[in-house]
Amino acid sequence: MVKYSCETCQKTFTQKGHFEKHMSRKRPCKKDNTIEVLVEQKVKEVLSKTNIVDKNESSTNQDMKLNQMDYTKKTREELIAICKEKGIKGYSNKKKKDILELLSPINNTIVEKKKDILSPVNNTNIKKFTYIDLFAGIGGFRYGINAFQSSHPQYIFECVKTADIKKDALKTYNYNFKEDNKACDVHTIKNLPYFDILCGGFPCQPFSSAGKQQGLDDKGRGNLIYEVLRICKESKPEYIILENVSNIETINNGEVLKTIVKEFQTIGYHIDCIPVNSAQIGLAQDRKRIFIIGCKSKQPKVIVSKKNPVTIKDIIDLTDETTNLSENFLRKLLVLPTEQLIGKSIKDKRGGDSNIHSWDIDFHGKISERKKILLSTILLERRKKKWAAEKKIKWMDGIPLSFMDIKTFLDYEGLQEDLDDLVDKKYLSMEYPKDIVDGKRTPIEKLPIGYNISKGKLSFPISKILHPSQLCPTLTATDSSKLAVLVGKTIRQLNEKELKRLCGFPEQFSLPHGVNKYDLFGNMVCPPVVTAILETLLLPSV
């Protein structure tokens, strides 16, 4: 069963309506920081028992702690000094009231916690981990770690380094974690002191099926894995958690992944590679990723436990009926009955009944049933291998067919007029068949010009209307803006709430103005997957 939980007060709801009512209360609920307070007390107790004193803590800092409640009486400059002392970032250009906000008890708790606990406290139940968040994006790893910490308060994590170079990603990360990280290229990270865990969803384009699949030969992004290796060699973290697209397992017959594993083994890590689909851990997204897990002291064995499946209907935001799709396009689509809309792709490609084609919705203007049959027949015929053999060219999907070719499978009086009209209306285009010349697809002008279907999948404002009882396909940086849902009487792109739910980000996560949410969510790692991995990696096995 899907559970909705309030990130502020931790209450859980089984019914979405109740949850939404709770979230829209006039008087917002209060954060339940009982766990944080308990942890804080426990840590203090442990430190005093073991006589551990934080050497970094100056007497001024201790005074400040005593005077926490007097912050309002301090000047802006004094507050900035306190921020510096406490390692709180983000005070530049801020007014006094905003700096006070930064120093509010919640923020204090976190920072004090970071400073108070010294690395591994022995003979206690408290386990402290430092980690670095490489290729941090919008913080999928960090949210996953935070969720693990919330449910296992004896584990305390501190992020000691964040690296990313994308403006939108950093803006979003800083906005949500109230930090002021500047762009940091992993190439520039040198000789970090020891930390416990290295997290990184290294860039996937060189490995993804959408890219050129150059793998480790990719001179730019592919080589970033070697930067990760270098950082591990220098700092020797106990654990490594890396994430990448599932295709990394298969390109070059699996050689790419084997090479990566071997490189980490050579520098002293035991490695386990595990595919995890977000859908198996209770998200409504079919997103398969490979996790490369390393451990210095023992062989890691990661088994991610399965959770109840959920689908689009569990995450859809039925309150949002606003759309920015054109009225004209929507009017054409919405003439189809609901069952012919939901779950359908919108493209002039193969796929039979699971596709809505441009002519099914009179995308370029009304046409007769006879012309629709002509288009559907050309769509299928142009894929047949025999046309390539007849034209003595290499077979490629979608060969343009000449008038004489078409006549062989559909011959009637008025065929030429129908074809002309479909070209005029832009349902068909006229092209020369292509062959491979010097490694490139090249039109062969000595062959008769042919008719081809003009619209691919990218030419429609949306590519798919999601089915309420199915999963959302993998969100990608380029295509997720084209996924749509039918809500009330309209069709719209996925909104921020839905993207968050599909990816397992907390409800309180929010996007700053002006960032490209589809790109950011298309690249993130799902936090609940990270949490699930930590559960098997760090908790003692039963």
Ligand X SMILES: C[S@@+](CC[C@H](N)C(=O)[O-])C[C@H]1O[C@@H](n2cnc3c(N)ncnc32)[C@H](O)[C@@H]1O
Minimum CB–partner distance for residue 520 and ligand X (Å) = 7
User: Looking at 88, 147, 156, 186, which residue binds ligand X (CB under 6 A)?
Assistant: 186
Sign of CA dihedral 360, 365, 367, 373: negative
User: Looking at 140, 433, 450, 504, which residue binds ligand X (CB under 6 A)?
Assistant: 140
Helices 224-235 and 255-266, axial angle in degrees (round to 10): 20
Residue 537 to residue 542: CA distance in whole angstroms:
12
DSSP annotation of 29 reads P
| Residue 83 in tokens | 């921020």
Comparing CB distances to ligand X, the nearer of 134 and 356 is 134
Minimum CB–partner distance for residue 224 and ligand X (Å) = 6
The secondary structure element, H or E, covering residue 77 is helix 76-86
Minimum CB–partner distance for residue 185 and ligand X (Å) = 4
Provide the mask over 96-135, with x wherever binding to ligand X is found by CB under 6 A and - wherever it is not. Answer: ---------------------------------------x
Q: Per CB under 6 A, does 203 bind ligand X?
A: yes
171: number of Cβ within 10 Å? 18
**271 to 330, contacts with ligand X by CB under 6 A?**
none
- Nearest to 113, CA basis, from 143, 157, 176, 144: 157
**153 to 182, contacts with ligand X by CB under 6 A?**
163-166, 169
Q: Per CB under 6 A, does 222 bind ligand X?
A: no
Over the range 345-361, which residues count as b (16 or more CB within 10 Å of their CB) and which as e? bbbbbeeeeebbbbbbb
Residue 406 to residue 404: CA distance in whole angstroms:
5
**224 to 253, contacts with ligand X by CB under 6 A?**
224
* CB-count burial class (<10 Å; 0-12, 13-18, 19+) for 466: buried
Minimum CB–partner distance for residue 385 and ligand X (Å) = 38
DSSP annotation of 272 reads E
Residue 158 to residue 146: CA distance in whole angstroms:
10
Q: Per CB under 6 A, does 185 bind ligand X?
A: yes
- Catalytic residue (one of 159, 204, 273, 295): 204
**Per rule CB under 6 A, count of chain residues that contact ligand X:** 22
Residue 105 to residue 100: CA distance in whole angstroms:
10
Q: Per CB under 6 A, does 206 bind ligand X?
A: no
Minimum CB–partner distance for residue 196 and ligand X (Å) = 19
Q: What angle do CA 160, 165, 166 make, to 5 degrees?
A: 120
232 carries an active-site annotation:
no
Q: Per CB under 6 A, does 528 bind ligand X?
A: no
Residue 292 to residue 263: CA distance in whole angstroms:
12
Q: Per CB under 6 A, does 138 bind ligand X?
A: yes
Q: Which residue is nearest to ligand X (CB)?
A: 137
**395 to 434, contacts with ligand X by CB under 6 A?**
none
Comparing CB distances to ligand X, the nearer of 195 and 359 is 195
Minimum CB–partner distance for residue 458 and ligand X (Å) = 22
Residue 62 to residue 81: CA distance in whole angstroms:
14
Comparing CB distances to ligand X, the nearer of 287 and 455 is 287
Minimum CB–partner distance for residue 320 and ligand X (Å) = 24
Q: Per CB under 6 A, does 197 bind ligand X?
A: no
Q: Per CB under 6 A, does 137 bind ligand X?
A: yes
Which amino acids are annotated catalytic? 204
Binding-site ranges for ligand X (CB under 6 A): 135-141, 163-166, 169, 185-187, 201, 203-204, 224, 523-525
